[in-house]
Amino acid sequence: MTLGTFIIKNALRNKRRATLSILSVAVSLFLLVLLLVALREITLPVEGAGAELRVAVRNKISIANLLPAKQLPIIEKIPGVEAVTPFTWFGGKYKGEQATFAQFAIDPERMHGVFTELKMPPEGYEAFKAERDACILGKITADKYKLKVGDKLTLEGPTATVDLKIVAIYSGTPDDRNMLFRQDYLDEASGIKGRVGMWWLKVDSAQDMPRVIQTIDKAFENTSAEVRAESERAFQLSFISMWGNIKLLVGLICSAVVFTLLLVSASTMSMAIRERFRELAILKAIGFRRRELFSFILAESFGLAFAGALLGVGGAYLLFTYGPVDKIFNGLFPSFEVTSRIVGIGALVAAMLGIVASIMPSIAVAKMSVTEGLKTLD
C-alpha cells in the first residue's frame, strides 16, 4: 500500500461522514461564489461601448424630481456636446403586475446619437420615428415574454396608461432588457408636458467630459431646477449607493458562511482523528515522526476540502457560465460572470479550511503518547 492510497482509505473510511463533509464544503463555497459574483455585478455594472463618452444629468435634489424640458436648448449649445435626449423612467405594470423590465421615454430622433451601441434594423429606426405609439424592446425581454415585432402591449403607469406597438427588437447593449418609447407620446398620455426625468448626452471626446460636466452644473446653478451632471459610470455607482452599504452586508454574510464552514470542517476532522488514535499510536511506535503524521492529517483535510471546492466552485462556474442565468435570476442580472479572481478566492478559502481544520487534530496527536494512544478504543 502506498502513502497515497493509505491517506485516501483513511479519508473515506466513514463514507457517510466524508460525503456529508464534502457536500457541506461544496454548498458553502457555492453560496460564497454566488454572493461574490452578485456583489460584483451590483457594484461593477457592465458598461456599453460608448459609456466613456456619455453623461447623465439629473435633478440635484433627487432623481425622482423632474427637470424642465426647456433645459434642452441650453445643453445642446454647450461646446463639446454631440447629442442629447430626454430619458424619463415610466415604471409601468405589464399584465397587471410590476414589469421586470425598465421602461424609458426618449427622443427617437436623438436616440441613436447618444446610444451608439444599440443595434436594430434600419426600418426599426424609421418606424420608431414615424409612429407615435411605437416602442422598441430589448432582446432579453422579448425572448422572455415571447414578444415579436408587431405585437401590442399595454403598460399601466403611475401617471398614465400607454398602449404601445413593438416596431423593433434591439440588442448590443450591456443590458438588453429595457423598453424605449417616445417622450412626446408620454407627454400626451400623462398630460404632463414640458417635464422630463433626466437628460442623457454624449460628448465629442473624453477630454471634453470634465469641462462639459462643469459647464452644465454651472448653467443651471441657482435656478429652480439645479442639476447634477456626471459620467455614466459615476451615475451608476451613485445609484447603487442608494441601496445602502451593500458591500458591508454581503461581506458579513460571506464571513458568516466561511466561519461556519470552518467550525464544521474542524469538528469533522477532530472526530475522524479521535477515532483513529490507536492506529496513529501504532504508527508512532513503529517509527513515524510527528511531522509525517501531521502530513497525513493535512493531506486528508486538504483532500476533503478541495473535493468540496471542486464541486462547489466548479459547479458554480459551469452553471453561471453555461447555464440559463437570465431564467435563474428572472432577468435580475443580464450577465453573471464567475471571474478567475472569484474562483481563486474559492480555492483560497478551501486551502485555508484544509490547513485550519487539521491544526487541532495534529496538536492532539503530537501530545498523545504511544501508551495513551494504544489504550484508546476504536
Question: Cell for 282?
Answer: 501504532
Round to whole Å and give the CA distance between 157 and 162. Answer: 8
Question: How many residues are listed for the chain in this entry?
Answer: 378
- pLDDT of residue 74 exceeding 70, the answer is yes
pLDDT of the residue at 69: 92
Round to whole Å and give the CA distance between 40 and 342. Answer: 10
Round to whole Å and give the CA distance between 265 and 301. Answer: 8
pLDDT tens figures, 253-302 = 888 888 888 888 777 777 766 666 566 666 666 666 666 667 777 777 87
- pLDDT of residue 196 exceeding 90, the answer is yes
Round to whole Å and give the CA distance between 200 and 109. Answer: 14
> What are 156's strand-pairing partners?
93, 161
**Cα angle for residues 150, 159, 104 (degrees, 5° grid):** 50
Closest by Cα among 102, 119, 104 to 50: 119
Please answer whether residues 274 and 364 qualify as being in contact, where contact means their C-beta atoms are separated by less than 8 angstroms.
yes
Round to whole Å and give the CA distance between 151 and 169. Answer: 11
pLDDT of the residue at 294: 74
Round to whole Å and give the CA distance between 78 and 319. Answer: 48
pTM here? 0.67
pLDDT tens figures, 12-56 = 666 787 788 888 889 989 999 998 888 887 776 555 556 788 999
pLDDT of the residue at 71: 95
pLDDT tens figures, 203-233 = 998 888 999 999 999 999 989 899 999 988 8
Lowest mean pLDDT among 91-95, 202-206, 284-288, 303-307: 284-288
Q: Residue 222: left (phi > 0), alpha (psi -120 to 50), or beta?
A: left
| H or E stretch covering 13 | none
What strands, in cross-sheet order, belong to the sheet with 152-156?
Answer: 88-89, 103-106, 179-182, 134-138, 161-170, 152-156, 93-94, 97-98
> What are 340's strand-pairing partners?
none
pLDDT of the residue at 352: 87
Round to whole Å and give the CA distance between 221 and 240. Answer: 26
| H or E stretch covering 97 | strand 97-98
Round to whole Å and give the CA distance between 91 and 51. Answer: 24
